[in-house]
Structure 1
Amino acid sequence: MHIPSCCADRTCRSTWFPYTKMKIPEIISVSGLTKLKNSFSVLHAVDGTDSSLVSQEREEKELVGDGEDFSGVVPEGYSLPPWGNVMAQQESYSAIESSIETSTIPQNDMVSLDETRVHFLEETDEGELSRRILVLSRSNRTRSAMELFRSMEYSGLRPNAHACNSLISCLVRCKQLDNAMRVFEFMKTNEIASGHTFSLILKAVADIQGCDSALGMFAELGGFARGKNDFDAIVYNTMLSVCARANKWVETTRIWRSMKENGHRGTEITYSLLVSIFVRCGQNKLAVDAYREMVQDGLKARQDTMQTTIEACSKHGKWDMALDIFQNMLNQGWKPNLIACNALLNALGKAREVKLAFQVFKTVKSIGYAPDSYTWNALLGGLYRANKHAEALQLFESLNREHNSQLNERLYNSALMSCRKLGLWDNALQVLWQFEASGQPVPTASYNLVIGACKVARKPEVALQVYEHMVHQKCTPDSSTYLSLIRVCTSASLWAEAEKILDVAPKASLYNIVIHGMCFRGKVESAKKLYLKMRRAGLYPDGKSRALMLQHFQSDLCETSMPDSL
């Protein structure tokens, strides 16, 4: 047999093979698929004149190297299948992977299932063919990998689970979900699907079609059913991660419950995901329950999980648990972040554990954190709730001297609340002027606190001046503002000022307060006039105002001026 001279060149050795005939089924191309027919003699290879496949073959040769399975002459018009010489040269997996790392996914390698062709396989060893699928998948050769997979399937050969998982991963990377589902169905049918397989396909469905589609598929596969399934903890963790991205805490709870019902123990990742999802969705009780279950199972929490749980405990009122977690972190040499420290201080402040709060505050400074506005607000709030108003004002004055730039609305209002409790109207005015001088917008609530301090100190004139200043500053009064002013005027018998406020804010509740005050102080005639004015404005008195008026109005006046319905 004559061998072309080009075969002397090593680069041509994998392009030629002996021209040998044998009795095998004919391969006929129909709609892009190559089918077998038992009546003709053909060569060991099929028609492969497609330019894209030839081009792909050359790329794969450069990636994998020349093979040694074929040598000799090939008749004109025939070429090897694109995966014909993969893994022929016995390279180690480390060498293959190093060459794949620099490769990119070819843009023209997208292939649908209908376009995948079936080839006759000279090699029938399932292990060898599985290794070829593995290498093609790692190098993102989706067309070649799928053709080899379909050819094995058509020939009754079965790739191993490792090769199929690698192929699914490759198809997912190349956004070929339909082909990935085809391989997945093959693995399910042949009972070689593993937990890794389910994780790959569920994550792919979530990435491409969304969380709801992945949850639907998870349910169809028996994820929420009681009983034995092929899932492991990794599959459940995958679904928890999918739900975390969509903030679906209800579905997360169902997956968590199903995982326990099917006898699977959670891992550190499981509980880290649970705590993170529940805290982000405001379900702090569930986050605390998940952390407790993790500790009961003997698992060691990660640093980020412990910090997040401290936040959950703070919002759920479990300050003692938050303090224990904080101390455990310090014992393990971990440094809780400032957010967790502030959450703990806030929890202690809400529980009026002021002494413990300042001990933690010293620890926070000792580990190198500079207190911020949240730190100071937690401490001021704790002092206020513990009725230590004088100490709260002392701390505020210290902040005003040393950390003036950190003062914000909440800190100013905390100081004003203490001033109101103590009736220190002059201190309240001083804090208000400092607030206005800071350049920050002063809200209505801050002026209301100053008016309240004047009310406690029995300074009605000052309260009215604060109200006028408030209007001059173009700050709109609210219902609390008018209510405080009416009560201030009523307690000081400033009826003219009270009626002026009623003209600005004609509300039935305010009229009732003034009418009550007038009647109790003997201003019955003024109360009658105000009552009639209220009725003419279409406002309805409460039961107490009506009872008082019935005592003082004449019977005929009551019948003509007050409807029977009242």
Structure 2
Amino acid sequence: MEAVELEGDLIAFSSAISACEKAGQWQLALLTLCELEARTVQQDVVLCSAVLSACGKGQQWQRALQLLKGLPQRRLHGNVVTYGAAISACAKGEQWEWALYLLASLDHQRLQGNLITQNAALLACEAGGAWPQTLQLLLEIRTQILEADLLTYSAAIGVGEKASRWSLGLLWLQELQNIRLKQDIMARNPAIGACVAGSNWQLTLRMFAHLPQDRLQANAVTYEAAVLASEAGGCAGAACKALAAAEADAMRVGGFLHGPCV
């Protein structure tokens, strides 16, 4: 009878933690896990992975690392999902060094990484603008014969923007186009942003002009980049056209960019 009750507790608490994870309620997820532990119910790695994910969504990367470190005390061994959640938490906290450390730890734990763990580490490197490490991760993806997806390239292009390496951003964008992987504006914006950061105004405007041809819809970020490039390049007419297009698409562009049209 007691075993049945404990199993029922585990199911109920699992559902509660899953709901907390989806809602990003990391505090409630941790409290639920502690309550489960107080009832001497043996947790499983799936539960802990969900709590790790909740901590990541709540920007609590340090708590995520503490939970990962404490798994042996709970008589649990992390799996690739657990490490993926911890790496994602580090990415959201812009802790790329920790993300790479955890990625390297997979080998020591005799766990096989996958594209999810690689992409999570890439996102961490993007957040920190760590472009040399990004190159290394992309190389590892190829050597492990993993098929890069849109998230992989978006993160790589984003690193080019944040590190002001516009040529790298364009290189990865070209590779993305060569493999005919369907892209979206979220992958194109970092490449445009990299050109803006590198003061390559003409290329910025050319990329903006090519969006309809590539069947991509500009958003507010795209329009702001186009207006900034137009202003910096002395093209007041182009800036006004970009602003008019933004207004036609019901996009709000920062007021500080309206100078040429006033």
Same fold (TM over 0.5): yes
Match of residue 289 from structure 1:
31
Change (3 A) 1:515 1:270: closer
The equivalent position to 2:166 in structure 1, one of 418, 425, 430, is 425
Give per-residue Cα distances to partners, 1:24-70, cap 9 Å, x unaligned. Answer: xxxxxxxxxxxxxxxxxxxxxxxxxxxxxxxxxxxxxxxxxxxxxxx
Q: Is 1:436 the equivalent of 2:186?
A: no
Q: Distance in 2 between matches of 1:315 and 1:279?
A: 13
Match of residue 81 from structure 1:
none
The equivalent position to 2:131 in structure 1, one of 362, 386, 390, is 390
Q: Distance in 1 between matches of 2:187 and 2:47?
A: 38
Q: Which amino acid aligns with 2:170?
A: L
Q: Distance in 1 between matches of 2:71 and 2:99?
A: 17
Task: Give the deviation of 1:450 after TM superposition.
Answer: 1.4
Q: Which amino acid aligns with 2:90?
A: L
1:23-422 aligned at under 5 Å gives the runs 267=6, 269-280=8-19, 282-283=22-23, 284=25, 285-330=27-72, 334-385=76-127, 387-399=128-140, 401-403=142-144, 405-422=146-163
Match of residue 237 from structure 2:
496
3-state DSSP class of the match of 1:471?
A: coil
Asked if structure 1 preserves the Cα contact closer than 8 Å seen for 2:55 and 2:61, the reply is yes
Q: Distance in 2 between matches of 1:512 and 1:319?
A: 35
Q: Distance in 2 between matches of 1:490 and 1:279?
A: 49
Task: Give the deviation of 1:305 after TM superposition.
Answer: 3.4
Q: Distance in 1 between matches of 2:217 and 2:45?
A: 47
Match of residue 450 from structure 1:
191
Q: Distance in 1 between matches of 2:176 and 2:169?
A: 10
Asked if structure 1 preserves the Cα contact closer than 8 Å seen for 2:157 and 2:191, the reply is yes
Q: Distance in 1 between matches of 2:253 and 2:36?
A: 56
Change (3 A) 1:310 1:396: closer
Q: Distance in 1 between matches of 2:99 and 2:186?
A: 27
Task: Give the deviation of 1:484 after TM superposition.
Answer: 1.2
Match of residue 247 from structure 1:
none
Q: Distance in 2 between matches of 1:514 and 1:311?
A: 39
Change (3 A) 1:362 1:295: same
Give per-residue Cα distances to partners, 1:345-372, cap 9 Å, x unaligned. Answer: 1123333444443333233223333222
- Pair member with larger Rg: 1
3-state DSSP class of the match of 1:442?
A: coil
Q: How big is the alpha-carbon RMSD for the aligned residues of Structure 1 and Structure 2?
A: 3.2
Q: Which amino acid aligns with 2:155?
A: S
3-state DSSP class of the match of 1:286?
A: helix
Q: Which amino acid aligns with 2:81?
A: I
Unpaired runs of 5+ residues, structure 2, are none
Asked if structure 2 preserves the Cα contact closer than 8 Å seen for 1:276 and 1:308, the reply is no
Percent identical among aligned pairs is: 16
Match of residue 209 from structure 2:
468
Task: Give the deviation of 1:375 after TM superposition.
Answer: 0.5
Q: Distance in 2 between matches of 1:506 and 1:375?
A: 40
Q: Distance in 2 between matches of 1:502 and 1:300?
A: 59
Task: Give the deviation of 1:436 after TM superposition.
Answer: 1.0
Q: Distance in 2 between matches of 1:305 and 1:401?
A: 32
Task: Give the deviation of 1:407 after TM superposition.
Answer: 1.5
Change (3 A) 1:435 1:301: same
Unpaired runs of 5+ residues, structure 1, are 1-195, 197-231, 238-266, 519-529, 532-566
3-state DSSP class of the match of 2:212?
A: helix
Q: Distance in 1 between matches of 2:183 and 2:201?
A: 22
Q: Distance in 1 between matches of 2:77 and 2:252?
A: 54
TM-score w.r.t. the length of structure 2 is 0.80
Change (3 A) 1:300 1:324: farther
3-state DSSP class of the match of 1:398?
A: helix
Q: Distance in 1 between matches of 2:247 and 2:91?
A: 40
Report which structure shows greater RCO (CA 8 Å, sep ≥6). Answer: 2
Q: Distance in 2 between matches of 1:509 and 1:306?
A: 42
Q: Distance in 1 between matches of 2:111 and 2:11?
A: 25
Task: Give the deviation of 1:269 after TM superposition.
Answer: 4.4
Task: Give the deviation of 1:425 after TM superposition.
Answer: 1.8
Asked if structure 1 preserves the Cα contact closer than 8 Å seen for 2:17 and 2:32, the reply is no
Task: Give the deviation of 1:472 after TM superposition.
Answer: 1.9
Change (3 A) 1:456 1:331: same
Give per-residue Cα distances to partners, 1:308-350, cap 9 Å, x unaligned. Answer: 4333333344444443443444467744332122001112333
Q: Distance in 2 between matches of 1:303 and 1:431?
A: 36
Asked if structure 1 preserves the Cα contact closer than 8 Å seen for 2:57 and 2:92, the reply is no
